[in-house]
Structure 1
């Protein structure tokens, strides 16, 4: 013993904590981030699928219009537009493609909130594909089909 008093020793600090395993809060944060990334990937995939479908439908309508510009064949235009509208109508109602006559035209009028199909140029969809010769304004029918498709795609995008 020293005359001044007992000998003091330095304080020994514990070792620095290891970075592994992380604290429970970090595991929770990792889980939340993984769930958010998964949800973002699912939503992006749905968006891309809708976008590809929209582009494919509109390009098919553009193809019909381009063919009409090269060869004037109103019967073919009416038949192709009718088929395209029937395929696209499944987005709104799976039973829609099986509708016939006035019920089909009323169904087509629904999204446009008018009577362009049942009382206008769209009436040609009933008998036009089955005639040999047809005199009609194909540009007006193509414009009406484009409006309908854009409205249906927009409505469907809101509900999905």
Structure 2
């Protein structure tokens, strides 16, 4: 053999590349995490969302009397005026609190109960001129059209009480 390489012994680069094997395709990345911690986190999040949804639904159902009172107030206020306002406030309170706690309240005790259950220290309050208007309006002489419209301030306070009264006031603060 000669020291010089023959043409048959020379391998060209394209020939070497053709001899390479194909690179393996990596496996597809799974959508589901492989560790149990992510699965546990997903279960906890789903459970918390379900609990939150159930609580919202139960609260929505428990507040049905509030929505009904506001709808009735809108329907009856123009026709019946202060009489409807006083009646709707009383029936809403009877829906939210035990009958023996609310039914016998009149005058200043009734106004203080409304203020205590509202839990809002902003003015105006029922215990004052607005409470007097609420108590006396159904008995005042009515205008010619038969209605006795309450003041806008009393209507706004009554709507706020219907929407936001608390059901957990202490017994002694309401008397």
TM-score, length of structure 2 as denominator length: 0.51
* Counterpart check, 1:30 vs 2:48: no
Residue 97 of structure 2 corresponds to residue 97 of structure 1: no
**Whose radius of gyration is greater, 1 or 2?**
2
How far apart, in 1, do the equivalents of 2:45 and 2:85 lie? 46
Query: Equivalents in 1 of 2:104, 2:53: separation in Å?
Result: 34
- Alignment partners' CA distance in 1, 2:130 and 2:56: 33
> Gaps spanning 5+ residues in structure 2: where?
1-29, 142-147, 169-175
- Does residue 138 in structure 1 map to residue 150 in structure 2? yes
Q: What corresponds to 1:75 in structure 2?
A: 83
Deviation sequence 1:98-149 (CA, Å, 0-9, x none): 6623333213213232462121223455576xx6x43554253321111223
Aligned runs of 1:54-65 on 2, under 5 Å? 54=63, 57-65=66-74
Structure 1 residue runs of 4 or more that deviate by more than 6 Å after TM superposition? none
Q: Is the 8 A contact 2:111 2:126 kept in 1?
A: yes
- Counterpart Cα distance in 2 of 1:47 and 1:40: 10
Partner of 2:95: 87
- CA distance 1:73–1:58, change in 2 (3 Å): same
SS in 2 for 1:138: coil
Q: RMSD in angstroms over aligned alpha carbons? A: 3.8
Q: Note the C-alpha offset of 1:37.
A: 0.8
